[in-house]
Structure 1
Amino acid sequence: MLAIGEFSRLTHLSVRTLRRYHEAGLLVPAAVDRSTGYRSYSGDQIATAQVIHRLRELDVPLADVRRIIESTDPGNRAALVSDHLARLEVELDRTRAAVVSLRRLLDPDPVPLSVELRAVPEAMVAAIEDDVDSDAMAAWFAGALAELDAAVDKRTGPLGGIYDNSLFEEGRGHVMLHVPAADPPHLGRVHPTTLPAVELAVATHVGPHDHADVTYGELGTWVVANALAVAGPVRETYLVGPADDPDPSAWRTEIGWPIFRMS
């Protein structure tokens, strides 16, 4: 049997932490002296303590740690750990995107954004559209894209999206995902529609969409500086995306703001 101090040195868990884990029922000592309250641990608890230590280093919640160490099914334990690792990877991706955006915003010598004024003619497209909450956009986008891919055999141009201003201003707005097609089908949610002609101020966002807000801001600054005003929903055109290249740094999204010149 090992005294709590010895067990602490062997596992690199502080005495205070071991006491907290005991109180939480996470790592119960092999024996507790009734008269003194001294805790003692067995040698075979060292491995369990080390597993707990690693899980806590990965910020696994105590309740999940308990489920993992109490599970007798290796497959179940692996699934619980994998679920948490997947959540960590998502958070890591968000952190990396935030760092990229912040560095770009704080760059003392930023590369000037290239903006093009473009007259876009009307176009026949196959589209799916709906009113969507901003926090449900990712799921809606994925579902709509899958339907369009299944319904449209021959595209005549890249995938595009039109996003109502209220989506950004109020967190809910009208969204349309579309692909140009010579003979757009009417199948399920997919239907043919004609996009009206429009004058756009267009800039290309490079990389994943997580920090597209920086490009939006730079484009907005350019629009204001050139005495233009936004007139209508934002258009995005996905020139290169995940389906074209798995490397996010290769993705290219054109952001187009319908504009008119202020008098």
Structure 2
Amino acid sequence: MGAQVSIGDFAVMTSLTRKALRHYHDIGILEPAHIDSHTGYRFYDTSQVDHAHIIRRFRSLGMSIPDVKALLSTADTATRTDIITTHLEQMEVQLQQTRDTVGALRELLSPVCTPAHVELRHEPALAVWSIGATLDVSELDSWFGSTVRKLRDAVAAAASAPSVIVPGGLYDRELFLESRGKATLFVAAPHSADPPEGIRAEVLPQAEFAVLTHSGGHEGIDRSYGALGIYANEHLISHQGPIREHYLGGAPPDPTTFTATEICWPIFSTTPPPE
């Protein structure tokens, strides 16, 4: 044991305020060495200074009170390492999210630019295997991942030889307008094969599109949507049909990660389709 000091001196020694020290006392992670029964004054032992510094440092790094409490209550090195490692991983995720947010904010300082290249494309009728669902936007990511895997597995099992599988999606306007609507994922149907249970065989009708390729993952795709929509409405005649996407560059180890997305904005064409 060291010397007992007042809460004022202890605050100076540890850079913890009176309010913080009282709070840490109340929750049981830094209790005074002695409380005067007549005055209620708190006194701390100088041996508690290092303990207080540990609490302050971890709290300044964003560690939760329960994790600080668990860290201080165990003498097991492996348990302490697990707690600190988990917190470091959480901080790395938060740091990346902050970097992404900063990048997005910087991008928003400049207006949406006319895309460098918009292709006008006639998509012929296409026989596909598809899975559709009516979803909230918040459910879309998890549904997308499981559905892409299901379609890829079904085609791989039915195909007589390995082939490049390029999934696509159709998204009704209600998904954008109401945050709930119909989404459909599809792949080109294998020749001479019937789809397994839960997968529908259908033919997508021919259609005309303005197409913009968004490089990379989903990050920033809203800007590409904005640029393509501006082009389609200022230079073409926009059609109110579903938005179509094609997902390029997927690999078997992770079939839900793509290198690019073709955004296909439906338009009315004034020229006949190619024969």
Bucket of the pairwise TM-score, normalised by the shorter protein? 0.7 to 0.9
* Number of residues of Structure 1 aligned to a counterpart in Structure 2: 259
- Residue aligning to 2:170: 162
Post-superposition Cα deviations, 1:61-105, rounded to whole Å, max 9, x if no partner, equal 434544554467766666666666555555444433333333223
2:259 is aligned, of 247, 251, 254, to 251
Residue type matched to 1:171 in 2?
S
Structure 2: tracts of 5 or more residues without a match: 157-161, 271-275
Among 123, 130, 134, the residue aligned to 1:131: 134
Residue type at the aligned position of 2:28: G
Contact 1:161 1:236 in 2 (8 A): yes
Whether the 8 Å contact between 2:173 and 2:240 is mirrored in structure 1 is no
Query: 1:236 maps to what in 2?
Result: 245
1:171 aligns with 2:179: yes
Q: Higher Cα Rg: structure 1 or 2?
A: 2
After superposition, what is the alpha-carbon deviation per residue over 1:10-49, rounded to whole angstroms, capped at 9, x for unaligned?
A: 5443343222222333422233232341231462x45543
Q: Which moved more, 1:19-28 or 1:223-232?
A: 19-28
Residue 222 of structure 1 corresponds to which residue in structure 2?
231
Query: Closer, same or farther in 2 for the Cα pair 1:179/1:77, shift >3 Å?
Result: farther
TM-score w.r.t. length of structure 1: 0.79
Q: Which stretch has the larger CA shift, 5-14 or 190-199?
A: 5-14
Cα distance in 2 for partners of 1:166, 1:68 equals 49
Q: Hey, what's the Cα distance between the residues in 1 that align with 2:112 and 2:154?
A: 46
Superposition RMSD in Å = 3.4
Q: 1:29 aligns with which of 16, 29, 32?
A: 32
For residue 129 of structure 1, give the secondary structure of its aligned residue in structure 2: strand
Distance 1:54 1:242, change over 3 A: farther
How many Å separate the matches in 1 of 2:227 and 2:112?
14
- Residues 206, 95 of structure 1: alpha-carbon distance in 2 compared, 3 angstrom cutoff: farther
Answer yes or no: is 1:99 the counterpart of 2:122. Answer: no
2:42 maps to 1:38: yes
CA distance in 1, matches of 2:58, 2:250: 35
Q: Determine which of 37, 52, 55 is the counterpart of 1:52.
A: 55
**2:216 & 2:205 partners in 1: Cα distance?**
28
**Percent identical residues:** 36
Question: In structure 2, how many angstroms separate the alpha carbons of the residues matched to 1:197 and 1:48?
Answer: 71
> Any conservation in 1 of the 2:114–2:227 contact (CA below 8 Å)?
no
1:218-239 CA deviation, whole Å, 9 max, x = no partner? 1111112114213211111111
Residue 121 of structure 1 aligns with an amino acid whose one-letter code is: P
Q: Distance in 2 between matches of 1:235 and 1:141?
A: 14
CA distance in 2, matches of 1:185, 1:2: 82
Alpha-carbon deviations, 1:191-218, whole Å to 9, x = none?
A: 3222221111111112331321111111
Could you tell me the TM-score, scaled by structure 2's length?
0.76
The separation in 1 between residues aligned to 2:205 and 2:81, in whole angstroms, is: 52
Structure 2 partner of 1:150: 153
1:134 Cα offset (Å):
0.5
Change (3 A) 1:109 1:131: closer
Cα drift, residue 185 of structure 1: 4.7
Structure-1 residue corresponding to 2:159: none
Q: Which residue of 2 aligns with 1:120?
A: 123
Cα separation, 2, equivalents of 1:254 and 1:156: 16
Helix, strand or coil: the match of 2:37?
coil
